[in-house]
A = this chain, B = another copy of it.
Amino acid sequence: MDFESEREWLDTRFDELWPITRSITGPGFRESLEILQQDIPFEVESVPSGTEVFDWEIPPEWRIHEAKLTGPDGEIYADLDETNLAVVNYSEPVDQRLTLDELDSHLYTLPEHPEATPYVTSYYERNWGFCLPHNTYESLPEGEYHAYIDSELDDDGRLNYGHTVLEGESDREVLLSTYLCHPSLANNELSGPLVMASLYNRIAAWDNRKFTYRFVVIPETIGSLTYLSEYGDHLQENLVAGLVLTCLGGPEETLSYKKTRREDALIDNVVQHIDQYMEPSLRFRPFDTRGSDERQYCSPGFNLPVGQFARTVYAEYDGYHNSMDNKDFMQIEALVDSADVIEQVLETFEYAGYYLNQKPYGEPMMSKRDLYPTINNPEESTRDDIIQIMMRVINYSDGENSILDISERYGMSVDEMKVAIEQLSNTDLLEPAPQTPEYHSPTTNFN
């Protein structure tokens, strides 16, 4: 890239993406995707409104042109031109004159943060409304208001998403998924796609990739449902791990990991393994049904091994879903730090999995492969670390014990084992295990 630093690059992208009026469908989402395509070569797909996705239906495409709430005094009290949050997302068109009383049920505020404008949506039930600071609301004069929203809800519209893969040695996949539907929110929107952009570029630059990496950017919830309805079978067959990226900026020093529904998938155990060697430590959250798109990936019919990384977690900070969630609150530096940690997790995951000893009957003869001294002399100790690690890897690589299992068994880090794994992989002794149901175990009662 042509930026002086990753930090500068992400800062620039943030400013390009911030002002766009996004929703789960519509031109704002597509425009945002195009901006991201500068960094990640997404293929953009579209699915028509009205398509059934499992228990849901893709809603009409929403397009918003103008939204203004004008007071009896001619003052404009809410204005889409001022902030994308001013209009309830997915508002139907309205051009009405009403008293303050009649208007009241269409106004949304945050009494406990009277200066902030809330972010409100109504995707699946037709409604309209304006969002404004509670202080403004309190000072609204009596009289006739003009509520004007120029929007379309197009049944012939579509939902869009972007995805791409970085191919690796194996066609088993690691999924990175984030969403791109909240307008003008920083931590709980732009942090995810920006960290994904960083990770795409880092992983593309790796010397080699053992796994194939899949990058998915979608509108939250309906987007992951749509993605699963199209690629769920593929993911069930190929996915060895996944991470949802959300809320990765913010002031918390500690990155936090929400476990997969299984809570002991290999990715869960790798994150816990790495945490032993990490300063500051990670925070771990159990799987629960509140969260982001992992709710869909980890629904029981799929039960995919998908965890989630976040820093300043949704619903845990004052600015959650309101205008205080801005660039001041979310630090670009925190995004870089998040990407550092997640890259390290993925690098370790590359080695942590299941291999199969190709000479499992008796020990293989190491010396004929130049992996072992030919003379057995007590002076020239064979307890040399690397040989010891190779022998352990060979013995336990039976398709049931992962490299991570071996590392924990002997109190080593996976990092310390990488050289031995590479040396063995370069001979005829070690191959990745062809089938590894241990990476994930779909719930079978539904199949």
Are B120 and A55 in contact (CB-based, < 8 A)? no
Which residues of B sit under 8 angstroms from A282, Cβ to Cβ? none
Which residues of chain B have C-beta atoms less than 8 A from A301's C-beta? 357, 360-362
Chain A contacts with B in 353-403, Cβ cutoff 8 A:
356-357, 359-365, 367-368, 374-379, 383, 388, 391-392, 394-400
Residues A124 and B367 in contact, CB atoms below 8 Å apart? yes
Q: In chain B, what residue has the closest Cβ to A428?
A: B55
What is the 8 Å Cβ interface bit string for chain A, positions 300-338, against chain B (1 contact, 0 not)? 111100000000000100001110000000000000000
Do A361 and B56 touch (CB < 8 A)? no
Contact with B along A220-237 (1 / 0, CB 8 A): 010011001100100000
* Given A124-B367, A228-B361, A290-B388, A300-B398 contact (CB < 8 Å): yes
Copies of this protein in the assembly total 3
Q: When the two chains form their complex, are residues B363 and A300 in contact, meaning their CB atoms are under 8 A apart?
A: no
**Cβ A54 vs Cβ B289 within 8 A:** no
Give, as a whole number of angstroms, the nearest-CB distance from A369 to chain B. 9
Chain A: interface size category: 35 or more
Given contacts A379-B108, A379-B118, contact A445 B400 (CB under 8 A): yes
Give every chain B residue within 8 A of A368 (Cβ-Cβ). 124
B359 touching A54 by the CB < 8 A rule? yes
A443 touches B376 (CB 8 A): no
CA distance A378 to B182 in the complex (A): 14
B398 in contact with A360 (CB, 8 Å):
no
Chain B residues with CB under 8 A of A367: 124-125
Assuming the A-B contacts A127-B375, A315-B383, A395-B261, are A299 and B361 also in contact, with contact meaning beta carbons closer than 8 angstroms in the complex? yes
Closest chain B residue to A446, Cβ basis: B360
CB atoms of B261 and A299 under 8 A apart: no
Interface residues of chain A: helix, strand, loop or mixed (majority)? loop
A301–B361 Cα distance when bound, in Å, is 5
A295 within 8 A of B: yes
Bound form: Cα–Cα A242–B118 in Å: 55
- Residues of chain B contacted by A396 (CB below 8 angstroms): 300
Q: Which residues of B contact A362 (CB under 8 A)?
A: 53-56, 224-225, 228-229, 296, 299, 301-302
Rounded to whole angstroms, the CA-CA distance of A123 and B357 in the bound complex is 25
A110 at the B interface (CB under 8 A): yes
* Contact of A288 with B by CB under 8 A: yes
User: Measured between C-beta atoms, what is the minimum distance from A54 to chain B in Å?
Assistant: 4
- 28 of the cross-chain contacts (CB-CB < 8 Å) are A55-B365, A108-B379, A110-B379, A119-B378, A120-B376, A121-B376, A123-B376, A124-B374, A125-B374, A127-B374, A225-B362, A228-B361, A232-B361, A288-B410, A289-B363, A289-B391, A289-B395, A296-B363, A300-B357, A300-B395, A300-B396, A300-B397, A300-B398, A303-B398, A356-B445, A361-B446, A399-B443, A399-B445
- For the complex of A and B, the 7 pairs showing the least CB-CB separation, nearest first, are A301-B360, A289-B391, A399-B445, A125-B374, A301-B361, A300-B398, A321-B378
